[in-house]
A and B are shown apart, each in its own frame.
Chain A
Amino acid sequence: MQDAVIPPVSGGAPSIWRAPDLSLRWWPVFLRHLLVWRKLAIPSLVGNIAEPLMWLVAFGYGMGALVGQVQIGEVKVPYILFLASGSICMSSMNAASFEALYSAFSRMHVQKTWDGIMNAPVSLDNILMAEMLWAGFKALFTVTAILGVMLALGISHSPKLLVAWLVLFAAGIAFSCIALIFNALAQGYDFFTYYFTLFLTPMMFLSGVFFPREQLPGPLRTASDWLPLTHAVELVRPMFMDQWPAHWLRSALVLAAYTAVAFWVALALTRRRFRA
């Protein structure tokens, strides 16, 4: 017997709130998602951009004719520009949320893909990291396609759109982190309907996507100051107008805070789910 090398008695499970334990092992998991998606990319592309384009056409051109110009600060812009710059943020949010809820839940709970991966030397933390980045990537892919259409339509040709593109990726990451909290809590797909109807849909209307937030009554407007989508729109819209956002640091910090806190909470709840 080699008693000396036998490790000491372990004392139960560590806290679910411990710091993330990440390595580069999230990459093969991300690559797995990419390989699956590559098989379905074209139909997925159509689905991803068809809906936002319908919004743009119906509201932008239809309502735009009625609305005319929208006042933003000192300047007036055509409604289609106002709507395009807001709805692309919404598309990023929807794409990331959908992937981090329905698709991640399928992999985690239905197909048991995560369980299979965890039998290899890949930790749960790295699997969640891969899901988070993957949902961010899906958002990036969607906004890239929509941005391409918007450029073709001549809605904006500002070079600052390149920066907006990165902001939209960051917003996708933030929304995927928030969605992963709900993924960790879900017992079935039905649960996500609540998330969409009680959280994302109201946020869509409160964050200045379709109309300026100045139109909102006082308390609602104060609440909307703290919504992540509001800050994504505040960052992206000026760049569509070839301007830099006035309060970029504040908005960037709010999005960063949502990302960090949501990822930490999502990680803790996911660890709790898998510890049982």
Chain B
Amino acid sequence: MSDLLFEARSLCKRYGGTTVVNDLSFGIARGECLGVIGPNGAGKTTTVRMCLGLTAPDSGSISYFHADGAGPGWSMPRDALAVKAQLGVVSQFDTLDPDFSCAENLLVYGRYFGMKEAQIRERIPRLLEFAALSHKADAKPSELSGGMRRRLSLARALVNDPRLLLLDEPTTGLDPQARHLMWERLQLLLQQGKSILLTTHFMDEAERLCSRLLVLDHGKKIAEGRPRDMIARLLEPDVVEAYGNGALQLVDSPLKAFAARVEVSGETVFFYTQDAKPLLAALAAHPQLRTLHRPANLEDLFLKLTGRQIREEG
């Protein structure tokens, strides 16, 4: 545990009478990508804001770089400026300067870190290349696609060569192509040894990028671990989905005995099972149903842990 770049201990945050973050502890090791997942209102954004020193926890502590010998050990929000000099942040909403070109956005942002102009200018071509935006150096953000803007935000977050990246829903609103390109870039950064804290709503993203996951709900940590381990530990390995005419009647039929767990969402019945063969054989007697047999994934785990009800609150 001495390799922790970041450690949060017993964080609590209340707004009015509501406890938004409740006794939350977690750490990020060097070279690790930690994913924070949870439904809307789970406390992800508040947690990120506390990590950035933008809001102070009511109790608990946040410390950075305390165990690596290079830093004296900094705490948020007390040492916010010293910490931020070593952080790269991509926030949920783009904060790019609309009046500047891509290259100017990077230059101006680098200055906020106290970097010299020559030093920033030297980095700009490499950053634009990394973001696959070399051909857009002189274009303004309004001339870029959503994916390009997110990659420019990522490039901007790298201008100071940070030790830790905080990415708040970096691919929300992007099309699959743009999302894959973003993932590729983030994997490249991990290969280069960067550490990442990532919040996301996309389970495929979390499964693909994160070495470890933190599942939040109602401000509390409800699970933590490696994605594959968590799925193996907490879920049955096989899922059979059945939908179509009469699917819902299966819930109370003898077929139930073939599954460890049965869930209903809308018109679809989900059977979670250790062995799908007998279930599939039994389902063959219902040719009007459409079935899908697949391995259990992170989304199944997420829904098992946090329930299927819609969270409308922000």
- A interface residues, Cβ below 8 angstroms from B: 1-2, 5-14, 25, 28-29, 31-32, 35-36, 39, 111-113, 115-123, 274-275
Q: Is the CB of A6 within 8 A of B100?
A: no
Residues of A within 8 A of B10 (CB): 9
Q: Which of B89-97, B195-203, B235-243 contacts A (4 or more CB under 8 A)?
A: B89-97
Shortest Cβ distance from A227 into chain B, in angstroms?
Answer: 35
Given A8-B61, A10-B61, also A119-B9 (CB < 8 A)? no
Residues of A within 8 A of B160 (CB): 120
Shortest Cβ distance from A233 into chain B, in angstroms?
Answer: 35
Q: Is the CB of A7 within 8 A of B61?
A: yes
In angstroms, Cα B108 to Cα A155, docked, is: 42
Residues of B within 8 A of A36 (CB): 97, 99-100
Q: Is the CB of B66 within 8 A of A12?
A: no
Q: Return the contact of B84 from the options A28, A35, A120 (Cβ within 8 A).
A: A120
Q: Is residue B173 contacting chain A, with contact meaning CB distance below 8 A?
A: no
In angstroms, Cα B112 to Cα A10, docked, is: 27
Q: Which of B51-59, B128-136, B183-191, B248-256 contacts A (4 or more CB under 8 A)?
A: B51-59
Q: Is the CB of A116 within 8 A of B96?
A: yes
The contact string, 1 if C-beta is below 8 Å from chain A, for chain B 80-112, is: 111011010101010111111000100011011
Residues of B within 8 A of A116 (CB): 91, 95-97, 109
Residues of A within 8 A of B75 (CB): 6-7, 10
16 chain-A/chain-B pairs, Cβ below 8 angstroms: A2-B2, A2-B67, A6-B7, A7-B75, A8-B61, A9-B59, A10-B59, A10-B60, A10-B75, A13-B55, A13-B56, A119-B52, A121-B84, A121-B85, A122-B112, A123-B81
A-B interface contact total, Cβ < 8 Å: 110
Shortest Cβ distance from A27 into chain B, in angstroms?
Answer: 8
In angstroms, Cα B61 to Cα A9, docked, is: 5
Residues of B within 8 A of A2 (CB): 2, 66-67
Given A29-B112, A115-B91, A120-B113, also A10-B98 (CB < 8 A)? no
Shortest Cβ distance from B63 into chain A, in angstroms?
Answer: 5
Given A9-B60, A28-B111, A28-B112, also A115-B95 (CB < 8 A)? yes
Residues of A within 8 A of B98 (CB): 111
Shortest Cβ distance from B111 into chain A, in angstroms?
Answer: 4
Shortest Cβ distance from A20 into chain B, in angstroms?
Answer: 15
Max chain B Cβ within 10 angstroms of own Cβ: one of A6, A25, A113, A115: A6
How big is the B interface, by class? 35 or more
Smallest CB gap from B86: residue in A? A121
Shortest Cβ distance from B156 into chain A, in angstroms?
Answer: 8
Q: Is residue B41 contacting chain A, with contact meaning CB distance below 8 A?
A: no
Q: Is residue B77 contacting chain A, with contact meaning CB distance below 8 A?
A: yes
Q: Is the CB of B52 within 8 A of A39?
A: no
In angstroms, Cα B73 to Cα A1, docked, is: 13
Shortest Cβ distance from B254 into chain A, in angstroms?
Answer: 54
In angstroms, Cα B89 to Cα A19, docked, is: 28
Q: Return the contact of A10 from the options B77, B85, B91 (Cβ within 8 A).
A: B77
- B interface residues, Cβ below 8 angstroms from A: 1-2, 7, 9-10, 52, 54-63, 66-67, 72-78, 80-82, 84-85, 87, 89, 91, 93, 95-100, 104, 108-109, 111-114, 157, 160
Nearest 10 Cβ contacts at the A-B interface: A116-B95, A7-B75, A120-B112, A28-B111, A119-B89, A121-B81, A5-B73, A121-B84, A13-B56, A112-B95
Residues of A within 8 A of B99 (CB): 36, 39
Extra pairs beyond A2-B66, A6-B61, A31-B108 (18, CB < 8 Å): A1-B2, A7-B73, A7-B78, A9-B60, A10-B77, A12-B56, A12-B58, A25-B112, A35-B108, A111-B98, A113-B97, A117-B112, A119-B84, A119-B87, A120-B84, A122-B112, A123-B80, A274-B54
Residues of B within 8 A of A25 (CB): 81, 112, 114
Max chain A Cβ within 10 angstroms of own Cβ: one of B63, B82, B85, B97: B97
In angstroms, Cα B120 to Cα A31, docked, is: 15
In angstroms, Cα B53 to Cα A275, docked, is: 10
Q: Is the CB of B97 within 8 A of A10?
A: no
